[in-house]
């Protein structure tokens, strides 16, 4: 719902967006857009009394045409701040005009409201019908340059989520250059308590680790300049207070639907106001806007919670599942798969794959995925990327005979690609060296013995679409793992003029979207899984095309606790690809029980990453039970509401880092699945666990013990797990509990 009234200060428009149980309020003040409130729902519309009217010193300018002596852009809470006319804080927009000037002043022109959400061409975006959302468009114009900006706000009716984006248009006769364009900016001036920025940092094998950074005067930012959203920072941050927990306190989560370079920052001014901004990272970014052209920013999503981080996360989860993932697999039961990578690496042939497939079929596994090494002359990672034709020395007769035999066993078949890369040692590079990104006169940097293809070029994308389609059409291939194993360097294109080289990073991402759009349109039934050396490009933009993502190359169950629970701050379980791998683990050499490896992997899209032919009969029996359990609980895990109960770094009963726990609850609260893992056991362990999300007035039966307990007791008093495991608790031991309402 969007209410539009006139406010008491000047009589100009005031906009009140109601999204679920949240309110987002701003107004026009002497032509400027000023932010008033973002938080739990309020009933009043005119919140202009919240404006802070403080004096400012003589060195701070103010607009000449505003009569209020207190008003200065340098302290005003703005909706979309611009550079060069009196606001010295981080700006959302910076435009360089043909005369070289960069001063901009955006003034209100008009607005319109319509039901639903308009589609976004050429970029991933949230979708919603006329019954699910309302959209407000506010048009602003710069009197000096003539440039106009269209700000779009979509309020999701059933969720406390507001989606924002900006469209910059050039209706003039001269080109302009965009040097910075954020997707959303939010000035928060109403929190009278210490604030923190929660974000997710990482590296290869240690993605999305939770960190809370206290905000002081100055700027805290997270970003990527790597050409992808990266392992190092996720395009998400949350503004919280020091008292915000999983279940209480304010949290405003900001997530950017973008797979490229991004920046999210929180800047605190001298008066304690916080500017929270997200958009394309401006380093090496420019965009030349010719007369009549427009530029559309990526979308940013605000998840607004007054009830802690858990509610913020569950809003993101529902939004991504229902309004972002387009694949027919978004809400369809996905097959349990086994991937051959950690089973064989490059050392496989048809007979080895068939041997794994036979054991997989006997264990109830439903798909075999053939990973890297099936194409060109690739027997290691030093050649053949770009040569997307079958290596018949490994796979005699090509893919069709192999896939037919695997299908005959009752299994589906999937395959690995790394389309955006090219090996210097390949037929493709020999024929088209200019297809690799590279700066004239400089050597190309090499990572994993590969270069990056210039995805800005239509001829490159046409080649990839044709060769990938040839493979997908040659056999009954029902799944693709889309990998991306290095970041961009020397990001210049041989086909762009000098004044447009600053567009390469963004054009690369748009080119990736274009290819993914063509592939998913041509093969609508394909299950696509994203990958980037694990979780290096795990972002909402990729979920638009691929409903699940390889969460990390670190498959150690104890390590995955941090990774998966960190990922859950933004992404649903259905998006996390989680596999049971070998023990000792290939990355850490840690030994963990098969049971616990299964319990942890059941926290997302479930599968296996090991050589089934080496397992004992007892382990294969356990796989059969794990697969059956996953199918039994599939809807609960992948469609339920997720609650983080204990993070691996939490202090429980005086011990830090000793255990972790989480649960999923069906939307009607009739069923719950709880997982508890001991990371490091100790002498005389005491474990109590309080549940969340249940119906306090209902009774619940725990399946394994038959115990019946009130929901209020389970949530407020908790469960005593001290003696819950037969034989006691050891390092890496775990238990799963299933509760049903009676």
The span from the CA of 673 to the CA of 738, in Å, is 5
Q: Are residues 191 and 319 in the same domain?
A: yes
Within-domain flag for 16: no
In the set 267, 454, 539, 553, the catalytic residue is 553
Residue pair 312/253 in contact (Cβ under 8 Å)? The answer is yes
CATH (domain of 262): 2.70.98.60
- Write down the pLDDT at residue 724: 75
Judged on CB neighbours under 10 Å (0-12, 13-18, 19+), 425 is middle
More confident residue, 189 or 143: 143
The span from the CA of 622 to the CA of 317, in Å, is 30
The span from the CA of 544 to the CA of 210, in Å, is 24
Q: Are residues 282 and 181 in the same domain?
A: yes
Q: Are residues 692 and 552 in the same domain?
A: no
Q: pLDDT tens for residues 194-227?
A: 999 999 999 999 999 999 999 999 999 999 999 9
Active-site annotation holds for 443: no
- Write down the pLDDT at residue 442: 95
With bands split at pLDDT 50, 70 and 90, how would you rate the model's confidence at 59?
confident
Q: Are residues 293 and 427 in the same domain?
A: no
Tokens of 76: 């005003």
CATH (domain of 405): 3.20.20.70
Q: Are residues 460 and 503 in the same domain?
A: yes
- Write down the pLDDT at residue 55: 60
- Write down the pLDDT at residue 652: 82
Q: pLDDT tens for residues 705-733?
A: 999 999 999 999 999 998 877 778 999 99
Whether 57 shows a pLDDT value over 70: the answer reads: no
Measured between alpha carbons, how far apart are the two ends of the chain, in Å?
A: 37
The span from the CA of 720 to the CA of 700, in Å, is 16
Q: Are residues 357 and 284 in the same domain?
A: no
Q: Are residues 575 and 626 in the same domain?
A: yes
DSSP 655: E
Residue at a domain's end among 637, 664, 694: 637
Within-domain flag for 33: no
Q: Are residues 234 and 344 in the same domain?
A: no
- Write down the pLDDT at residue 51: 87
In the chain, count of helices (H) and strands (E)? Answer: 12, 40
Residue at a domain's end among 593, 616, 637: 637
Q: Are residues 699 and 561 in the same domain?
A: no
Query: What residue numbers bound the domain in which 667 lies?
Result: 642-741
Within-domain flag for 291: yes
Residue with token string 């906009």? 15
Active-site annotation holds for 731: no
Q: Are residues 403 and 424 in the same domain?
A: yes
In the set 187, 483, 539, 562, the catalytic residue is 483
Q: Are residues 279 and 166 in the same domain?
A: yes
Q: pLDDT tens for residues 139-171?
A: 999 999 999 999 999 999 999 999 999 999 999
With bands split at pLDDT 50, 70 and 90, how would you rate the model's confidence at 189?
confident
The span from the CA of 168 to the CA of 171, in Å, is 10
Within-domain flag for 64: no
Residue pair 663/702 in contact (Cβ under 8 Å)? The answer is no
% of the chain beyond a pLDDT of 90 = 92
Q: pLDDT tens for residues 499-554?
A: 999 999 999 999 999 999 999 999 999 999 999 999 999 999 999 999 999 999 99
The span from the CA of 220 to the CA of 21, in Å, is 29
With bands split at pLDDT 50, 70 and 90, how would you rate the model's confidence at 339?
very high
Q: How many other CB atoms sit within 10 Å of the CB of residue 226? A: 20
Within-domain flag for 39: no
- Which range, of 53-62, 130-139, 656-665, averages the lowest pLDDT? 53-62
Q: How many other CB atoms sit within 10 Å of the CB of residue 119? A: 8
| Domain count across the chain | 3
With bands split at pLDDT 50, 70 and 90, how would you rate the model's confidence at 52?
confident
Q: How many other CB atoms sit within 10 Å of the CB of residue 65? A: 9
Q: Are residues 403 and 492 in the same domain?
A: yes
Q: pLDDT tens for residues 69-119?
A: 778 899 899 999 999 999 999 999 999 999 999 999 999 999 999 999 999
Residue pair 544/517 in contact (Cβ under 8 Å)? The answer is no
Within-domain flag for 241: yes
DSSP 600: H
Whether 686 shows a pLDDT value over 90: the answer reads: no
Residue pair 512/124 in contact (Cβ under 8 Å)? The answer is no
Report, in angstroms and rounded to the nearest whole number, the Rg of the chain calculated over CA atoms. 27
Within-domain flag for 24: no
Residue at a domain's end among 297, 323, 349: 323
- Write down the pLDDT at residue 54: 64
Tokens of 165: 């984006």
Within-domain flag for 166: yes
């Amino acid at each position: 719902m969007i209410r539009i009234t006139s406010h008491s200060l000047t009589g100009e428009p005031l906009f009140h967006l109601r999204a679920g149980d949240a309110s987002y309020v701003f107004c026009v003040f002497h032509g400027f857009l000023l932010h008033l409130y973002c938080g739990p729902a309020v009933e009043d519309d005119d919140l202009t009394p919240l404006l802070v009217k403080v004096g400012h010193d003589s060195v701070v300018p103010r607009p000449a045409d505003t009569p209020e002596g207190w008003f200065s852009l340098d302290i005003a809470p703005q909706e979309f701040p611009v550079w060069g006319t009196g606001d010295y804080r981080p700006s959302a927009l910076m435009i360089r005009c043909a005369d070289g000037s960069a001063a901009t002043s955006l003034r209100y022109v008009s607005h319109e409201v319509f039901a639903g959400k308009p589609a976004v061409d050429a970029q991933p975006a949230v979708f919603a019908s006329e019954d699910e959302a309302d959209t407000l468009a506010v048009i602003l114009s710069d009197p000096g340059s003539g440039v106009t900006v269209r700000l779009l706000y979509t309020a999701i009716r059933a969720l406390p989520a507001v989606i924002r984006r900006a469209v910059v248009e050039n209706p003039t006769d001269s080109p302009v250059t965009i040097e910075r364009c954020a997707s959303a900016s939010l000035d928060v001036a109403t929190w009278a308590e210490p604030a923190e920025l929660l974000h997710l940092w990482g590296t290869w094998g240690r993605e999305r680790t939770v960190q809370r950074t206290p905000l002081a005067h100055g700027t805290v930012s997270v970003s990527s300049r790597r050409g992808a959203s990266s392992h190092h920072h996720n395009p998400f941050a949350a503004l919280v207070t020091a008292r915000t927990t999983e279940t209480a306190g304010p949290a405003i989560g900001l997530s950017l639907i973008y797979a490229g370079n991004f920046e999210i920052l929180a800047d605190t001014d001298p008066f304690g106001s916080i500017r929270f901004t997200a958009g394309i990272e401006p380093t090496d970014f420019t965009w030349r806007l010719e007369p009549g052209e427009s530029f559309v920013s990526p979308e940013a999503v605000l998840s607004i919670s007054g009830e802690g981080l858990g509610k913020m996360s569950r809003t993101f989860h529902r939004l991504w599942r229902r309004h972002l993932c387009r694949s027919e697999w978004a809400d369809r039961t996905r097959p349990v798969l086994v991937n051959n990578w950690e089973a064989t690496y490059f050392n496989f042939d048809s007979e080895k794959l068939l041997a794994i497939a036979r054991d997989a079929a006997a264990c109830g596994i439903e798909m075999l995925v053939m990973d890297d090494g099936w194409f060109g002359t690739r027997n290691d990672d030093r050649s053949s990327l770009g040569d997307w034709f079958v290596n018949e020395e490994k796979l005699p007769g090509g893919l069709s005979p192999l896939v037919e035999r695997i299908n005959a066993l009752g299994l589906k078949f999937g395959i690995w690609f790394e389309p955006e890369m090219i090996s210097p040692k390949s037929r493709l590079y020999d024929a088209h060296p200019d297809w690799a990104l590279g700066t004239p006169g400089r050597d190309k940097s090499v990572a994993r013995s590969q270069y990056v293809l210039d995805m800005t070029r239509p001829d490159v994308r046409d080649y990839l679409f044709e060769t990938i389609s040839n493979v997908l059409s040659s056999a009954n291939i029902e799944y693709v793992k889309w990998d991306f194993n290095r970041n961009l360097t020397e990001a210049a294109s041989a086909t762009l003029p000098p004044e447009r080289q600053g567009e390469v990073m963004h054009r690369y991402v748009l080119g990736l979207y274009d290819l993914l759009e063509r592939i998913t349109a041509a093969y609508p039934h394909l299950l696509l899984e994203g990958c980037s050396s694990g979780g290096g490009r795990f972002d909402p933009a990729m979920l638009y095309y691929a409903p699940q993502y390889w969460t990390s190359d670190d498959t150690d169950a104890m390590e995955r606790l941090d990774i998966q629970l960190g990922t859950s701050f933004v992404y649903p379980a259905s998006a996390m690809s989680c596999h049971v791998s070998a023990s000792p683990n290939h990355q850490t050499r840690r030994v963990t029980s098969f049971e616990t490896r299964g319990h942890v992997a059941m926290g997302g899209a479930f599968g296996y990453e090991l050589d089934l032919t080496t397992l004992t009969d007892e382990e294969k029996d356990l796989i059969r039970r794990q697969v059956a359990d996953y199918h039994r609980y599939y809807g609960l895990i992948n469609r339920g509401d997720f609650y983080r109960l204990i993070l691996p770094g939490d202090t429980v009963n005086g011990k830090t880092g000793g255990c972790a726990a989480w649960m999923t609850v069906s939307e009607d609260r009739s069923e719950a699945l709880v997982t508890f893992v001991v990371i490091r056991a100790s002498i005389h362990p005491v474990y109590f666990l309080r549940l969340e999300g249940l119906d306090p007035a209902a009774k619940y039966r725990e399946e394994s013990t038959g115990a019946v307990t009130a929901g209020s007791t389970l949530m407020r008093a908790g469960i005593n797990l001290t003696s819950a495991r037969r034989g006691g608790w050891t390092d890496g031991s775990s238990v799963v509990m299933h509760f049903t309402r009676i």
